[in-house]
Amino acid sequence: MTEGVGAGGAGAPVRLIGADEDDDVVTMAQGRSRPAWAEIDLAAVAHNAAVLARLAAPAELCAVVKAHGYGHGGPAVARAALAGGAQRLAVALVDEGMELRQHGVTAPVLLLSECDRDAVDTALAYGLTPTLYSLESIAAFGVAANASGHRITVHLKVDTGMHRVGAAPEDLPALAAAVAREPMLVLEGVWTHLPVADGVHEDDRTYTEGQLDRFDALVATLNDAGIATPLLHAANTAGTVAFPRARYGMVRCGIGLYGYLPGESVQRAFVAQSDGPAIGAHPGTPGAAALRPAMSLKARVVAVRTLDAGERPSYGRLRPLPDRSIVATVPIGYADGVPRALFTGGYHVLIGGARRPLAGMVTMDQIVVDCGDDATVRPGDEVVLLGRQGGEEITADDWAALLGTISYEVVCGVGPRMPRVVVNRPDPSSA
């Protein structure tokens, strides 16, 4: 489909084309005048949220929609996740929370890190729930809440082994007591983060279990001191699937919301708790409880030429064509999130339902594809870089395997000048 391709012009605001006005995505860069786009299946997001919510129940599902909804479009993804059963949202930045509010999202929004002092008033003005882990931030939010005249809920984060941000375990009681002394602050949640819940080694599992033991002990210490901890949370997607004890009162799912599970051990754990495959099943098929990738990356052939064997297309002239071949040019490149390393990794795209190798190095705005002797390839033909075509599928996990990275980086890396086109919306009757 070509909806959205060619609409607008340079400098025009880019939206999730095909979505309702309330689902607009602001600040995405231009690029709609060329035939390349990312398709966003919001029904898949809602489905994934429903699957994760059922798995985690009775814990609440908090949908992590930071980084512009992992590249899918923050406000639209938030709405879809809430339609699927998420009860809360989480973001990394105050600006991300502001964007949700500006698009009418009213669900609770948790900030996953302390914000700068100069953003405290903004966070309160937009009704965002702060995560705190320092006396300075507790004091700053206490002052701001007093000035506003409104009591606000806050969460405390404790570092049980991620060693990135969060309070030192020995400091948690003092921080909780400091929150209790602030008349306009209410301690709603205490949480931690699990860095190796997706690990394949027994040491990883032992480490995660140790984190949860430490977390439980810290919570018990707070409760013994008379400090209530109404909402506990520790699990990311991996923790939600692989460590049922980590679900507590809420889980924070990110990558699972977008249709991927982080690693084989988590995928196996998911299958063990369901009746089908972990990823990729579609409605009406066995194992329809599987997660569904929500992003496809597509373009159209813009030029076709025949080159003799031995010709070396693209920058660097790195590889000779093995035979006389039809070579297709496709207007998408590394500025759009298609890494150069895919060429050296042996990446294929889909054209006409068949896998076709790259004929030369990925460039900033274009790729060239070796279509062999297939003279049926024409300008205008659809090219799939991520997604399904015919009986073939390319996933973010496939890219990650070639690139030595993870699916998170692949979907987040799809560039801002790629328009996001809605192809499916949640079914209200299934929410």
Question: How far, in Å, CA of 404 to CA of 33, rounded?
Answer: 33
- Look at residue 4 in the predicted model and tell me its pLDDT: 29
Decide if 315 is catalytic. yes
Across the strands, what pairs with 383? 299, 351
* Global confidence as pTM: 0.91
Catalytic residue among 70, 260, 298, 315: 315
User: What's residue 6's pLDDT?
Assistant: 30
pLDDT band at 276 (very low <50, low <70, confident <90, very high): low
Q: What is the reported pLDDT for 429?
A: 53
Percent of the chain with pLDDT over 70: 89
Q: What is the pLDDT of residue 278?
A: 73
Q: How far apart are CA 58 and CA 34, in angstroms?
A: 46
The token duo for 80 is 């879809």
pLDDT category, 13, cuts 50, 70, 90?
Answer: very low
Q: What mean pLDDT do residues 85-112 have? A: 98
Out of 66, 70, 133, 248, which one is annotated catalytic?
Answer: 66
What integer best gives the mean pLDDT of the chain? 91
Structural contact between residues 31 and 57, judged by C-beta atoms closer than 8 angstroms? no
Confidence of residue 33 (pLDDT cuts 50, 70, 90): confident
pLDDT at 28: 43
Q: In the prediction, which pLDDT does 273 show? A: 87
- Tens digits of per-residue pLDDT, 142-185? 999 999 999 999 999 999 999 999 999 999 999 999 999 999 99
Block residue for tokens 């999202």: 105
CA distance 305 to 26: 38
Distance CA 405, CA 25 (A): 27
State yes or no: pLDDT of 430 exceeds 50.
Answer: no
The H-or-E segment that residue 222 falls in is: helix 202-224
Predicted pLDDT of residue 283: 53
Using CB atoms within 10 A of its CB, is residue 25 exposed (0-12), middle (13-18) or buried (19+)?
A: buried
Active site residue 298: no
Contact predicate 72/49, CB 8 Å: no
